[in-house]
Each structure stands twice: as structure tokens, then as C-alpha cells.
Amino acid sequence: MMQELASVLDEIGGDRSVRVVVLRGKGAMFSSGIDHALIATVLGPNEKTPFMHNLYQLQDTFHRLSRLHQPVIAALHGGAVGMACELALAADIRIATEDTIMGLPEVAFGIVPDVGGTTRLVRCVGEPRARELILTGRLVKARTAERYGMVHDVVADLAALDLRVQARAELLASHSPTALGLAKVLVQASGDSDAATSFRLEGAIQQGLLAQPDLAARFAAGVAFIKAQMQSAE
């Protein structure tokens, strides 16, 4: 499934008509994570394929998701545990129903999060909170996850999830796809760079955006957007 997801992400990344990507699980929950049988077989010592090869393939799929030019919304319900939580952390925006349970319980199996969970959780909630969650393997409900910074919005149920995801997707699609894509690049690069490098990168990206021929035509819409936000800000 991860190989198929990687292939689909490649198609999406090359399709300019796709403005926003929504990642959602089918069934009782977003995902319960990796098939535990794989831990003892595909990822075990008797597997002919080296462990690191399998791991890099999984990590690469998650990297493709996080590096898409289009913004990605993870719509979570029921549960997003282990590798599923790591997948959600690779998205730009996470919206969850109140019944969603999240976390990285790998330590209970005697292993650690290895598909970006450690790295992305630290950047998402900070090192002290990530340390506590990873070392204990504790799972948390959506409201707690929101308080920690793991999710951006929590809604009551699946119907409310549909509405919130649709509203967020429409908002994102209303913005310049070029500016959105470069904003993603800038935010990701900032987390990997020192402050001075990040400041210079801001200027370099902005200089390119200011040269867009249709920039002036967007200003009226930008002002209207700000006025509307001033009225509806939560």
C-alpha cells in the first residue's frame, strides 16, 4: 500500500490541476498503523531484503507527502497510531474528530518510531513533550493532541470533519498555488537551517514571488480576504 501511495503522490505532484490533497482512512479509523506481523517478518532478521532498504522506502514515501507542492490535509478519525500517526505528522494540516486517539507506542514493542515520527513529533510539539510521549508510548485523545500541538482542529464527528476539511481545502485552494508551494519550502527549510540562513531564504523566495506578472491583480482579492478574516477570526 505504501508503494501505491508513493506512486499516487508522484502523479499528484506533477498535476497542476490538483490544488489541495486530503489524506483520509477508509473504515472505522484513519489507520491503526503498521501490520504488526511485519515487525516479525518483513522487518525481521530472516527477511532477505535488508532492513534499512525497507525503512528508506517507507521514509521516502512519507517525505514525498511532506514535500508535495500542494498543501496536504490529514483528516483523522477513530485512531492514528504508530506509523499512521507518523503519516499524519507528514501532512501540513491535521483535523481530527473528538474520538480520534493518537500516539507513538513503538516502545511497547521494544522498538522506536522510525518513519519520521521522532523527528516530526519533536518539531511539532517540542522536544520535552515529544520525549515524554515517545518514552512512555502514551496514546492521547484528540483534544489533548490539539493542546499539545499534534493536531490543528478537533471536530465533533465525521459530518463535522467533512465540513471542516472542505472549508480548509477551499480556503487553501483560493490562494496562489505558487505562493503556497514556496511557503511550504520556506517553512520546511527554516526548521533545517540556522536563523540567518532562513532569513536570507525568505528574501530570496519573496524576490521571486514579487516578480510574478499577475501579482498586482491579486491585491484586491488579498484585501478582501483580510477584511473577511477580520470579521470571522476565532
pLDDT digits (tens, 9 = 90+) for 20-33: 999 999 999 999 88
**pLDDT classification of 39: cutoffs 50, 70, 90:** low
Candidates 11, 47, 86, 170; catalytic one: 86
The yes-or-no answer on residue 86 being catalytic is yes
Q: From CA 216, how far away is CA 112, in angstroms rounded?
A: 50
The yes-or-no answer on residue 234 being catalytic is no
In the chain, what are the domains? 2-172 (3.90.226.10), 175-232 (no CATH)
pLDDT digits (tens, 9 = 90+) for 92-116: 999 999 999 999 999 998 889 999 9
DSSP assignment of the chain: -HHHHHHHHHHHHT-TT---EEEE--SSSSB--S-HHHHHTTTSTT-SS-HHHHHHHHHHHHHHHHH-SS-EEEEE-SEEETHHHHHHHTSSEEEEETT-EEE--GGGGT----SSHHHHHHHHH-HHHHHHHHHH---EEHHHHHHHTS-SEEESSHHHHHHHHHHHHHHHHTS-HHHHHHHHHHHHHHHHS-HHHHHHHHHHHHHHHHT-TTTGGGHHHHHHHHHHHHHH--
pLDDT digits (tens, 9 = 90+) for 175-229: 999 999 999 999 988 888 889 999 999 999 999 999 988 888 888 888 988 998 8
Candidates 4, 106, 170, 234; catalytic one: 106
Which residues, including other chains, have CB under 8 Å from residue 188's CB and lie 6 or more apart? Answer: 66, 67
pLDDT at 20: 97
Contact present, 61 and 2 (Cβ < 8 Å): yes
